[in-house]
Structure 1
Amino acid sequence: MRARKWIMGISPVTPVGKLLCVFTIFSLAEQYVHGSDQAVQARALREFLQNVLPSSSSSSVNFSSPPCSWENIRCENGVVTGLFLEGLGLRGHIPKETLGTLTSLTHLSLSNNSLQSPIPSDLWSLTDLSYLSLSSNSFREELPGIGLSNLVKLQRLDLWSNGFHGPLAFQIGQLKNLRYLNLSYNSITGTIPAAIFDIPSLMVVDISSNGLHGSLPSQLTSLPSLHFLNLSGNSLSGGLPDGISTMTGLTTLDLSNNSFNGSLTSLNASSLEQVILSFNLFTGPVPILKSSKVVRLNSNLLYGRLYSVFGPDLIELDLRLNVLSGEISDLMNDTSSNFKYLDVSANNFSGSLSSVDFAALKDLSYLDLSSNHVEGNIPNEIVKASKLEYIDLSNNNLSGTLPEFLMMLTSLSHLDLSRNSLSGNVSQLEHMSSLKYLNLSFNQHLGCNSGLVRDFGMDAFTGLMDCNPAAVNVDVPSAGYQSKSTLTRGIIVGVVVGCALAIMIISAIIAAIIVHKRRVRWPPHSTLTLKQRASVFKDESRFMSGPFSFDSNSGPWVANVKNPSSVAVVMFEKPLLNLTFADLLRATNNFNRETQVSQGGLGPVYSAVLPGDLHVSIKVLIEGRALTNEVAAAEFASLAKIKHPNIVPLLGYCIVGEERLVIYEFMKNGGLHRWLLGSPDRYQGLQQNNHLYFDFSTDLISRLNVEQLPETVSLSWPVRHKIALGLARALAFLHHGQSVKIVHRDVKASNVMLDEELEPHLANTGLAGLLAGSDDPLFASGSPGYAPPEYGQTGGKVSTMGDVFSYGVILLELVTGKKPIGDSYEDEDGIDMGPEYFGRPAINDLVGWIRMLMHEKRSSSILRALDVRACEDTISQGQMLEVLRIGYLCTAELPSKRPTIQQVVGLLKDMAPNMTSP
């Protein structure tokens, strides 16, 4: 009889033995399944990492070892539960059936890599995830609302700095365990679903820098755990919801760079520690913020006096660019001993500094009171605020001498006391080794010092009657303010740089000769004086020529196109027209000069009537050759999607050989600059809506003789206001109405086209940025007279605030009727300020003239600046003065002190000129 092996002496036929056998079988099966799961997970992880790891990194991973032994991987009981792969240089796509098979994952972090779309759908099946971070990658797809709704255990969702687009998924509201939500720096559009704020566990919400619009849901105030909310950098509007002050857990609120309006009284008595509401349209008084440490309410429309609204914990206060008033000493004495930063520039504060307790401001490092009405002396006690690093008291009514012991401020690096009535000696400043920036200009009775002039340049002493290079006997630096360290280094590197420049100049001359043989180019405006620039724009016809090679005759070029009917014209608006380049040739008479209507920096423009009675403008891009056919087609298609009632629409394009032509809707009344300068006598006058206008469709801008323009041609103030508002709305759409902010780069009067109703349309949108690789200074730095000062500085970058500056110049043109450069700029006695006089430098530009008038605060001079042709009555005069003030703010030297274009829209909308006036 065969012997049986009993386990532990128990017979398998007994009940206990049977139970033990079943248990053993299930245990073995579980071990087999568990081992099988581990093998699947190992294969999935190997495939994922081998696909996304850089080759230099993948070689260092021992893929033959178990995944739980790898770095950055967390396991529990041999099962992978966490991947922490931040900043490892991962790139490419996440393969399907890799990460999605790790069903026990609770933590997944792939942030700070270069992973790309699409995200595999199986990733959204990881229902145990509580932590998901895909931030700072290159995922460019619609926010996966349905997929996210599966992750019901999710507590932290971090998708910031990608390219997620489309609406904000309402399904996120189904994640009832979510505590942290960061979707910032994406391209999410639409409104904020109320469901997002129906998650009681939410503590942190950051959806800043997207394209959201609409108002805040009222459900926001019902979140008991929320302590951080950042919705800045969107296009949100409306007021703050009632009850926001009852959110006792909310400590940080950032709604800056939006279009919120209304009062801030709902914030009274709130527990907020950081209140950041800058660059909006809020009105009324400053709320009571006794618990706040950081308050930034700059660039709004706040008004009124400040009466004990801040508490003892305040560290930073920024109220610049509002309409606030009151005694400056009351405000400064209402701060704490921990106070470090104060900026109330561009307001209406008054009073003196003599009553300020500077000894109590022992930690104050930044003080900006510029452009207010502060008067009296600068007290000696200011040195008791011994940590001051930045002082700007410019454009006030200060008098007397400099504080006696100002040199005791050993950390001071920036001092601006310009445009006051200070007097006396400044020699003590020469001993302040920490000083890197100094501006004492336009204090007529203030002395100067040869050492200071040598260190900081003559510009720091402009307008001082007793200070000139001859008087101080020193060679003055040729441009700008310079620090002492800059001058020292300059001596050391001068010879080397000089040699390098000599080589570059010789090379440039040779290159210029070669280029000149091919085509005539615009002169380099950045190298011209203001008077030379003015003469350039006064005689643009010197640079007029044929369209493609810029020869006077385009015939040879046209002859080289063997079969024009085979070159297609792509039309976005009317694709069924089936146009070809031959149609463009017929409509422009082979791009004859007689059909050319303007010459801009981007290229000549021709008027044409295409088949179907379609009247268009055809622009030949002089720098278009730098674009490949594929890039040009893609970029033009993208530009065609920019649609707004105040933007000239791109109708189509044609790529023929090396040339790129763009086709725009024709604007019957031409460019705004022609209206501001007048029009030739031969133009046929028409009457429409009681406003005189002219038909520019058959006239060539190169033939305009500005000197012979009739004085009777003008725009009424209501029309000018309509133009200002329409243009502001166009820019607001570009800056804040898109998922990605668009900077125009070349806002100027000749790029503002007027239709039959004299409605403004911004032209060349996107073209300057498209051609920004050009070496022509026009593309990099804007147009003379319109370019903001920062564009001309080393490292200067284009920005929306650069567009705001250029827009401000147009406002000044509309109000004064003067050109941005090269016009006659007069003082209150009618004396041209072009020549140097009374210790002042010559003023050859509109912005400098207006800023001088505003700084001098002489009402008679400011009234003289208004264009009498539009100043029809006292109402118009008042509105023109207000628009002049807006233009003054828009053209502030520092970008941070300019309003956003959204704020400008709000200000202009508040004015309602009578459109029936003549």
Structure 2
Amino acid sequence: MVAVVVELLALQVPENGYGSINDAKVLAFGEMGFGIFGSFLVLTLFFKPLVCQQPNTDESFVFEFLQKMGLNPPKDYGFSGSFCSWRGVFCDDKGENVVGLEASGLGLSGVIPDTTIGKLIKLETLDLSSNRITALPSDFWSLGSIKKLNLSHNQITGSLSSNIGNFGRLESLDLSFNNFSGSIPEAVSSLSSLQALNLSHNGFESAIPTGIAQCRSLVAVDLSENSLNGSLPNGFGAALSQLKFLSLAGNEILGRASDFTGMKSIIYLNISGNQFKGSVVEVFEGPLEVIDLSRNQFQGHIAQVNFSSTFKWSNLLYLDLCENELSGEFFTDLIHAQNLKHLNLAYNRFTKQRFLQVDMLTNLEYLNLSGTNLIGEIPSNVSSLVSLRTLDLSENHLSNRIPPVLAKNLKVLDLSCNNLTGDIPLMLIGELHGMESFNFSYNNLSFCASQFSRETLEAAFIGSVNSCPIAANPDFFKRRAPKHRGLEIALVLTISMVCLLVGLLFLAFRCRRETRMWVVKQNSFREEQTISGPFSFQTDSTTWVADVKQATSVPVVIFEKPLLNFTFADLLSATSHFDRGTLLAEGRFGPVYGGLLPGGIHVAVKVLVHGSTMTDQEAARELEYLGRIKHPNLVPLTGYCLAGEQRIAIYDYMENGNLQNLLYDLPLGVQTTEDWSNDTWEDENNGIQNEATLVSWVRGLVRRNQALLAIDPKIRGTGPDAQMIEALKIGYLCTAETPSKRPSMQQVVGLLKDLEQITL
């Protein structure tokens, strides 16, 4: 009989464990007896906490929201028992309405459904951060009581609704790390109670709305890593006098330091990676502790400015002015920043100067003076910076020896690209094992560091001399038994002679073969394939590619993505071993190949024709300098590879081709209003129109398959015209604009001999 009652209950209770059993009827109570009634009562009491839920209540709204967002069954996440005791649910004093809901990091995904969260009319705090929510419901903006809203670290797309202005009581809004786009609505001006605003790491565009200046209660604003542009609203700084935290980093905002005048409470200011100009002096006022003005266009002789008397240097903890256009010398006021922990003045336009006075900056943990025109010696008092963890003095003109003792607790050290000489101190060598990274490359140093791997030596000591004695490398200098000495010498000499003879025979055979390997081809072509025209000297890239041994061990350097671990083998795979099928163009500096690196990175790979004249050190330095050049009209150099004797430059792939193609790639015989390339000076009496030189005129005829017109009518027909045309083609090759495409004299002789076989 108990089974019958259980079955009856099962019919009344839905699968999700909730429903109403108030209408359940015990049909056979009289016949079943009191025992059955008792069993039914026990089961009813057992199921009541799970199934007693009234529709259209906050409890039902929250439960439906969690279930439809993928939290199934909810009780596994602490949503069981009494409603107000559910995990992250906070009720009012009566236990009827939800005033707070925290569901961060529960794996909720998709669109928030209507008639769920939007029905919690008493809700004051909502935290749905770190989920996979993609959109908000239409009734979401009816939460008129909301004070704290956190939807950060989700996947919400689209524009931010102007209905945000309905949240008149909102004090904290965090929509960071989503995919919002469009402009920030002017309706934010209605948020008069707003104290914290975080819209960072989205895709917001256009200018910052002027209405934000009406939010005078703001204490913290983070709009970093968007695509905001334009200028700041007038009176921005003065209107937000209570602001303590401001980050506008990683946008395209225009402005000057004076835009922040009036922020008397500001402690944290980060406007890095924008387009601010002018002097930096007006930023230095008030109780600022963190100042980041890096990667802007600030100018001026910073040592000659008078800083505000209201600015307290002793409060300053973090200062970053790198990658601006500051000139002059370091400002002496820095000696008063005795609590400074982070200082970065790298890559400005400072004049040549001695090392910064660091005696008083004993709390420094990070010091970057790379590219600041430092001269002279590294001062020995750097060792007094006992808290220093990072020291970067690269790309300066520092000379003489490295001090015997640098900071003892260093984790990162970069002294590369200077004029340092002498031995690297043994004490410093001994401390390198405890560092995360170090670099002494491109100096005139010597060292003894036999304990480091070959990879470390090649990466961190480029251009330095290993001065270790034989005793420091016993594995490489083992003594041999004297009785075999003579035999070994004889064996080595014999093998050397055999190898030399084989090599000479191979070279002779190869030279003979190469005289016949190249041919002159005439194809229907597009001019972007080669600057020299439709006839090209055929070179074989497999020759130098084969000379590169262990392609997987030759690194490819990518400037802005150092963690990408590409090798020369990846370049070979991307360009099909530099096959002509992947050739994009051939310029005067070398051929350019297209390819796709692992991870879907589309690149253009240029093999530099004159690169072998430079040493590895010179080539790496020049290529790294070129990689720093950023201009909207220049294709950025993204990386390089030193493969044997070849120097390979890696550029971003330009889908629409280059300027040469756009200017000159016009269909033959088609004249357009944009065909300005023929608008050259003319002389009516020279018999040759529209051309400046005889060579270019003849080359143009050969390119257009009209070589016969270049032959003087007086000799035309006196011999095989085909031979004359082929002779012109040889001349075409010998006058190629790219020297590497011109044949050698031996090959020219071979071509001329082949002309004898051409008949009518």
If the length of structure 2 is used for normalisation, what is the TM-score? 0.57
2:290 to 264, 274, 286: 274
The 1:46/1:351 distance shift into structure 2, 3 A limit, reads same
Give the 5 Å matches for 1:677-716: 679-680=531-532, 703-705=535-537
Checking the alignment, whether the CA contact within 8 Å between 1:112 and 1:136 is kept in structure 2 is yes
In structure 2, do the counterparts of structure 1 residues 61 and 305 end up closer, same or farther at CA, with 3 Å as the change threshold? closer
Equivalent residue of 2:62, what SS? helix
| Deviation string, structure 1 residues 159-181 (Cα, Å, up to 9, x no partner) | 11111111111101111000010
User: What amino acid does structure 2 have at the position aligned with 1:318?
Assistant: N
Give the residue type in structure 2 aligned to 1:196: I
Which of residues 384, 396, 418 is equivalent to 2:418? 396
C-alpha distance in 2 between matches for 1:752 and 1:148: 53
1:295: Cα distance to partner?
Answer: 0.8
Q: Secondary structure at the match of 1:55?
A: coil
**In the alignment, what sits opposite 1:371?**
395
Q: Give the structure 2 partner of residue 116 of structure 1.
A: 134
Q: CA deviation at 1:131?
A: 0.8
1:782 and 2:603 aligned: yes
Residue 434 in 1 paired to residue 460 in 2? no
Residues 752/120 of structure 1: CA separation in 2 closer, same or farther (3 Å cut): farther
Distance 1:350 1:114, change over 3 A: same
- Aligned twin of 1:87: 105
- How far does the alpha carbon of each residue in 1:615-635 deviate from its partner, in whole angstroms, 9 at most, with x for none? xxxxxxxxxxxxxxxxxxxxx
1:468 positional shift: 10
Which deviates the most, 260-269 or 201-210?
Answer: 260-269
Amino acid at match of 2:415: L
Which of 196, 202, 218 is residue 234 of structure 2 equivalent to?
218
SS, match of residue 211 in structure 1: coil
Q: Does 2:186 align with 1:160? A: no
Q: After superposition, what is the alpha-carbon deviation per residue over 1:248-269, rounded to whole angstroms, capped at 9, x for unaligned?
A: 2111111112222222122234
SS at match of 2:105: coil
8 Å CA contact 1:450–1:474 kept in 2: the answer is no
- Aligned CA distance change for structure 1 residues 595 and 198 (closer, same or farther; 3 Å): farther
Structure 1 unaligned residues grouped into runs of 5+: 1-34, 414-432, 477-540, 543-592, 598-668, 684-698, 708-730, 732-744, 755-762, 786-819, 826-831, 834-840, 855-880, 894-900, 902-917
| Aligned partner (choices 320, 324, 341) of residue 346 of structure 2 | 320
Aligned to 1:823: 610
Does structure 2 conserve the Cα–Cα contact (< 8 Å) formed by 1:245 and 1:268?
no
Q: Does 1:104 align with 2:128?
A: no
Write the letter of the residue equivalent to 1:109. D
Aligned residues of 2:125 and 2:149 also touching (Cα < 8 A): yes
CA RMSD of aligned residues (A): 4.4
Aligned-partner Cα distance in 1 for 2:186–2:140: 19
Q: Is the 8 A contact 1:205 1:228 kept in 2?
A: yes
| Residues 50, 258 of structure 1: alpha-carbon distance in 2 compared, 3 angstrom cutoff | same
Distance 1:113 1:295 in 2: 35
SS of 1:100's equivalent in the other structure is helix
**Bigger shift: residues 151-160 or 283-292:** 283-292
SS in 1 for 2:258: coil
Q: In the TM superposition, what is the alpha-carbon distance from 1:842 to its structure 2 partner? A: 5.5
Residue 203 of structure 2 corresponds to residue 187 of structure 1: yes
Aligned position for 2:62: 45
SS in 1 for 2:350: strand
SS of the residue 1:388 aligns to? coil
Distance of 1:283 and 1:94 partners within structure 2: 49
Distance 2:346 2:145 in 1: 49
Aligned partners of 1:216, 1:451: CA distance in 2, in Å? 56
Cα distance in 1, alignment partners of residues 241 and 152 from structure 2? 27
Instruction: Assess if the C-alpha contact under 8 Å between 1:68 and 1:75 holds in 2.
Output: yes
1:51, 1:95 within 8 Å by CA — same for their partners in 2? yes
Residues 443-502 of structure 1: per-residue CA shift (max 9 Å, x gap): 5562545444658345555444666999986889xxxxxxxxxxxxxxxxxxxxxxxxxx
**Which deviations, in whole Å up to 9, do the C-alpha atoms of 1:520-558 show, x marking residues without a partner?**
xxxxxxxxxxxxxxxxxxxxx99xxxxxxxxxxxxxxxx
Contact 1:313 1:336 in 2 (8 A): yes
Q: Is the 8 A contact 1:453 1:461 kept in 2?
A: no
Secondary structure of 2:64's aligned partner: helix
1:352 counterpart residue number: 377
Task: Write the distance in 2 (CA, Å) between the matches of 1:326 and 1:297.
Answer: 18
2:261/2:282 contact within 8 Å kept: yes
Residue matched to 2:620: 848
**Distance (Å, rounded) in 2 between the aligned partners of 1:469 and 1:822:** 39
Quickly say closer, same or farther: Cα 1:56–1:326, change in 2 above 3 A.
farther
Supply the distance in 1 between the matched residues of 2:196 and 2:469 (Cα, whole angstroms): 62
- The structure-2 alpha-carbon separation of the partners of 1:752 and 1:183, relative to structure 1 and needing over 3 Å to count, comes to farther
Question: C-alpha distance in 1, partners of 2:156/2:599?
Answer: 35
Match of 1:230 in 2: 247
> d(CA) in 1 for partners of 2:86 and 2:298?
54
Q: Give the distance between the partners of 1:126 and 1:157, measured in 2 at CA.
A: 13
Partner of 1:173: 189
Which deviates further from its counterpart, 293-302 or 260-269?
260-269
SS of the aligned residue for 1:161 comes to coil
What do residues 503-525 of structure 1 show as CA deviations (whole Å, max 9, x unaligned)?
xxxxxxxxxxxxxxxxxxxxxxx
Does 2:157 correspond to 1:140? yes
Residue number in structure 2 paired with 1:332: 358
Partner Cα distance (1:374, 1:151) in 2: 59
* Higher Rg of the two aligned structures: 2
Is the 8 Å Cα contact of residues 306 and 325 (structure 1) preserved in structure 2? no
* Inter-partner Cα distance in structure 2 for 1:327 and 1:283: 18
1:823, CA displacement in angstroms? 2.2
1:125 matched to 2:142: yes
- In the TM superposition, residue 851 of structure 1 has moved relative to its aligned partner by 5.8
1:342 is paired with a residue whose SS is strand
Q: Distance in 2 between matches of 1:453 and 1:59?
A: 52
| Offset from partner CA, 1:85-144 (integer Å, 9 cap, x none) | 111111122111111111111111111111121x11211111111111111112112111
Q: Offset at 1:436?
A: 6.0
**Residues 216, 241 of structure 1: 8 Å contact kept:** no
Q: Partners of 1:304 and 1:889 in 2: how far apart?
A: 30
Counterpart residue number, 1:306: 330
TM-aligned CA distance change 1:67 to 1:379, over 3 Å: same
Provide the C-alpha distance between the structure 2 equivalents of 1:852 and 1:46, rounded to a whole number of angstroms.
58
- How far apart, CA to CA, are the structure 2 residues paired with 1:280 and 1:237? 10
Letter in 2 for 1:51: K
Describe how 1:481-560 pairs up with structure 2 within 5 A: none
* 1:336–1:360 CA contact under 8 A, matched in 2: no
- Tell me the secondary structure at the aligned position of residue 178 of structure 2: coil
Partner amino acid for 2:331?
A: Y
Instruction: State whether residues 161 and 185 of structure 1, in contact with CA within 8 Å, keep that contact through their aligned partners in structure 2.
Output: yes
Q: Distance in 2 between matches of 1:257 and 1:821?
A: 33
C-alpha separation in 1, matches of 2:417 and 2:79: 68
CA distance in 2, matches of 1:59, 1:888: 53
Look up the equivalent residue of 1:238 and give its one-letter code: G
TM-score relative to the length of structure 1: 0.48
Residue 273 of structure 1: CA displacement?
1.0
Higher relative contact order (CA 8 A, sep 6+): 1
1:717-866 paired onto structure 2 within 5 Å = 779-780=600-601, 782-785=603-606, 820-825=607-612, 832-833=613-614, 847-848=619-620, 850=622
1:202 maps to what in 2? 218
